[in-house]
Amino acid sequence: MASKGEGKERPSARFHGRIEGTGRECAEPGCDAAGEFRAPPLEGAGPHDGPRNFRWMCLDHVRAFNSRYNYFDGMSVDEIHAAQRPTAGWERESRAFSGRDPGPRWSDFSDPLDAIAARYRRERAPERPDGKPLSGQDRESLKVLGLEPDADRTALRRRYSDLVRRYHPDRNGGDRSHEAKLQRVIAAYQQLRGAPAFA
């Protein structure tokens, strides 16, 4: 076991960033030591659309480089101030997660063990004799039309026709007081007509 005063002969590769066996020489002119440490190129980091073009240096020269390296070199006062703000780099707008992307449909999921469907059936027992599930929007639309959850496509069309005759101004003697109800009826019918339970 090594005593407390003894240290390792070479620094840890992980700690110092040494990459051995690169076959490169130190980039410092006149130095023929192995280039085992990376440093940014003289022309700067450049665009990040490809592999970075590092300079390779020996330990002594990379230490000298690091001691004189100044990230803010060549920047104006305003650029330095902008780079030092606590929120620098956070100005980009994040992508919205709602509205544009409806997300996957239930039919897109593979459920070989019936885990998702079984839970769905447990939480929302089917109210239709055909076993087709009703979404929350389906239930709301059925309430607007005054239909039971087990209504079929024929009952849906019949009820829609009855309500349009009742609320449409051309059919009820010009009474326009029911236009809001008529709009809700039309929207509910359109939603249910495309629902899986009425397909």
Residue extents of the structural domains in the chain: 14-44+52-75, 130-198
Which residues, at least 6 apart from 83, have a Cβ–Cβ distance to it below 8 Å? 71, 72, 75
Counting as low any pLDDT under 50, the low residues of the chain are 1-2
Q: Enter the CATH code of domain 130-198.
A: 1.10.287.110
What integer pLDDT is reported at residue 188 of this predicted model? 92
Q: What is the tens place of the pLDDT at every residue in 24-45?
A: 889 888 998 988 888 877 665 5
What integer pLDDT is reported at residue 81 of this predicted model? 85
For 163, half-sphere exposure in the C-beta direction (CA atoms, 13 angstrom radius) is 24
Q: What is the tens place of the pLDDT at every residue in 100-133?
A: 556 667 667 777 776 766 666 555 555 677 778 7
Cα angle at 175 between 170 and 178, to 5 degrees? 100
> Distance (Å, rounded) from C-alpha 89 to C-alpha 82?
10
